[in-house]
């Protein structure tokens, strides 16, 4: 593991810190799950893109800086340290974009990546179905070939689709070969959410906001140009997306280190903290730093030509459980005031979804047991 930054990396860090200090809004933006908050977050994405901070690791022609993986992690640390807004473009720039770079055609890259980088077009992740959540391969939504029009006709339902209530485009898997076995015969599609035959129904959460939505497909035509990867190869493409969600891209260490630092300050400002609170605060801070060091170890391995592999499942279990513990500790420190402490309370309610999305932690533990520890495979009926 190499934690020594070069002169150019230190200069990159200083530039990022200076820009964020001058541009991060003084007050938190409204929730991105509201119409006003959505617009405000899109404006923030446009400001980031104008200064080429939106997607620092992308090529310059797509609003990036050609930054290295080390510089990307450095930027993420600075971003969260500055208390910058959440990324409404997250599904696109962190989950879908790496797959478009790896599996997309040059035409797809030119068509989708620029508007993704600027926040002009926001993407929804349309994977889960009523009977296909962590067991994604059991999905039932179908894609029927339409040779005459040169494309596919989609039918079915997706649920718990993140950002779909306000998003412009979606991505997801559909079963294009009903005769193939579970993981075979799936195709990865990109589709505009205002296409004929698509109905989006927001799902109201406990706070009344719609961070998710159901998406219904009724004879929705998608041209061949909007198929990502080869027809029938969707599972392999999708697992690339899952790796990004479980590993480095979705939950960078800066997020947890910044939250752990705020937790320490909260503890120091609490007149009469609960018993054992100090141990819990220290535990959260140490684990955040451990996750940071683990990430730097992964960066070093990837920079040397290695890959993420099943280690993404270890990441996912660790950060999702850390997130809950950290926020629970904060709420206990706040006591009755936690009910009106919007930042910590919102963070806590969101953290509860961590062990569920991106593949439940039960699934991730099976992956760790079988693919990393070499334990016998679970008997599947």
Give catalytic residues, as residue numbers: 245
Distance CA 368, CA 139 (A): 24
Q: Compute the chain's Rg from CA coordinates.
A: 21
Question: 212-223 and 198-203 as β-strands: parallel, antiparallel, unpaired?
Answer: antiparallel
213-235 as b/e: b if 16+ CB within 10 A: bbbbbeebbbeeebbbbebebbb
Which residues lie below 8 Å from residue 290, measured CB to CB, with a gap of 6+? none
Which residues lie below 8 Å from residue 117, measured CB to CB, with a gap of 6+? 49, 54, 55, 58, 62, 63, 64, 89, 93
Distance CA 164, CA 214 (A): 8
3-state secondary structure of 225: helix
Distance CA 230, CA 261 (A): 45
Backbone angles phi, psi at 315, to 5 degrees: -55, -50
Kindly compute the dihedral angle of the four CA atoms of residues 178, 182, 184, 186, in this order, to the nearest 10 degrees.
60
Q: What crossing angle do the helices spanning 277-303 and 69-81 adopt, rounded to 10°? A: 160
Distance CA 370, CA 380 (A): 13
Tokens 């994977």 belong to 127
Contact 40, 105 (CB under 8 A): no
């Amino acid at each position: 593991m190499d934690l020594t930054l070069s002169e150019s990396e230190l200069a990159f860090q200083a530039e990022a810190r200076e820009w964020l200090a001058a541009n991060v809004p003084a007050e938190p933006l409204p929730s991105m799950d509201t119409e006003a908050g959505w617009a405000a977050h899109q404006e923030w994405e446009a400001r980031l893109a104008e200064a080429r901070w939106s997607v620092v690791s992308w090529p310059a022609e797509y609003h990036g800086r050609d930054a290295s993986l080390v510089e990307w992690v450095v930027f993420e640390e600075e971003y969260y340290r500055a208390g910058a807004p959440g990324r409404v473009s997250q599904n696109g720039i962190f989950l879908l974009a790496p797959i478009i770079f790896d599996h997309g055609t040059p035409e797809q890259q030119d068509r989708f990546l620029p508007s993704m980088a600027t926040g002009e077009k926001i993407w929804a992740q349309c994977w889960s179905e009523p009977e296909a959540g962590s067991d994604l391969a059991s999905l039932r939504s179908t894609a029927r070939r339409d040779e005459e029009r040169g494309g596919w006709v989609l039918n079915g339902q997706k649920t718990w689709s993140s950002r779909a209530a306000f998003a412009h485009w979606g991505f997801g898997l559909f079963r294009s070969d009903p005769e193939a076995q579970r993981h075979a015969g799936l195709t990865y599609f990109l589709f505009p959410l205002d296409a004929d035959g698509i109905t989006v129904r927001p799902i109201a959460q406990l706070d009344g906001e719609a961070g998710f939505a159901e998406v219904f497909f009724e004879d929705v035509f998608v041209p061949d140009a909007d198929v990502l990867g080869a027809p029938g190869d969707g599972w392999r493409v999708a697992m690339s997306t899952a790796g990004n969600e479980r590993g480095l891209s979705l939950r960078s260490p800066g997020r947890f280190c910044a939250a752990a630092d705020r937790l320490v300050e909260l503890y120091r400002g609490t007149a009469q903290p609960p018993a054992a609170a100090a141990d819990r605060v220290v535990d959260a801070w140490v684990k955040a730093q451990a996750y940071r060091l683990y990430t730097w170890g992964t960066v070093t391995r990837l920079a040397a030509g290695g890959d993420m592999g099943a280690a993404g499942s270890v990441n996912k279990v660790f950060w999702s459980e850390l997130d809950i513990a950290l926020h629970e500790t904060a709420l206990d420190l706040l006591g009755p005031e936690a009910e009106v402490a919007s930042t910590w309370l919102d963070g806590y309610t969101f953290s509860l979804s961590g062990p569920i999305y991106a593949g439940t932690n039960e699934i991730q533990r099976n992956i760790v047991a079988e693919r990393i520890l070499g334990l016998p495979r679970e008997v599947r009926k």
